[in-house]
Homo-oligomer: A and B are copies of this chain.
């Protein structure tokens, strides 16, 4: 199905205007009402598994006919346990504290006014994602709990699955007395809809893309609406010469090998030259056991067997079983390497030296800066956020794992008693 530009912009106008009205209503909804909606969606999902699986089967069949890759088909596939996982996610988000309405930093000023900040929803959030149908539920649930109306644009290949899930969401919203326009799933598969949405400043307050780097880069380039984005995770561990050896090995192995394909996995190991010949052989052994290919600088290659690392290696997010290793002369060179090649995602220092920890914490400009911990901890659940819509490598508004609070903003509230300004 294709639609003309006029049609897509009319669709966006309609969706946008409906979302704005729904957002005003949702901002006033009680915590109980929002939680009730989440639980009603959960119920409907569980009692309509068959319909959702049937819709998913249509997408899967089309995907196979269109020769989607096995990895893509796996992301697209639903089964009973994946539907149950979605339902469990809804329960968990219902249990989280409501971020909306909290009042912070209330102080009385010399004039007599009391000034504080109230946490409020952002408004309308546009979410653009690829093939995973479970994102439809996750994103809807997080937006609903944070009282934002959302417009969801999933992948074309998941359209039938998303429509079936949308039915559950719309049912739950209505059962809880909320407008079905609080969550709208775009059913037009036309790419032009994405362009419309990311430029619809009058309706959409923020865009959150979830997917591959190309999708996100294209959206960021063309968006007029602010984008909370995560481009890449070129994460480093720096092992200082004053590191505890056992901790260093445990962290360097875990940071790479626990999971290769997540954005918080280490892509480059930096190691102080005074400790390199002692630690690298043991590390190389463990990496070899885990099937990790090593690419090293000249000094690394003297100590262990490794392919020569190129300039490109330092700039690459492998997301797989490859690790680049560089021997550095000191913490300054390590930090300079991170500043030059890092992606401001997550970087860790392993050392027992107090002053170097302070320097690293202060100077490294990443969304998460770690000390004696594995970079694989970069995750909303591990940070206690309870849920996560993604990891932001933006500098403004929200940085690092984005939970419910990242989906809200603050406004000033001022309480007087007939107070006027002199």
Contacts and interface: CB of A to CB of B under 8 A. Distances in A.
Contacts of A113: 373, 377, 382
A251 interface: yes
Interface string A326-369: 00000000000001000000001010000000010111011111
Contacts of A76: none
A81 B418 CA distance: 35
Interface in A40-61: none
Interface string A274-296: 00000000000000000000000
A311 interface: no
A396 B101 contact: no
A160 interface: no
Interface residues of A, number: 68
A250 B367 contact: no
B411 A399 contact: yes
Most buried by B among A123, A339, A411, A415: A411
Interface of A: 24, 27-28, 101, 107, 109, 111, 113, 115, 118, 120, 122-123, 205-206, 226, 244, 246-248, 250-251, 253-255, 258, 339, 348, 350, 359, 361-363, 365-374, 376-378, 382-384, 395-397, 399-401, 409-421
CB-based closest 7 A-B pairs: A373-B416, A247-B418, A254-B420, A397-B397, A370-B414, A368-B412, A396-B397
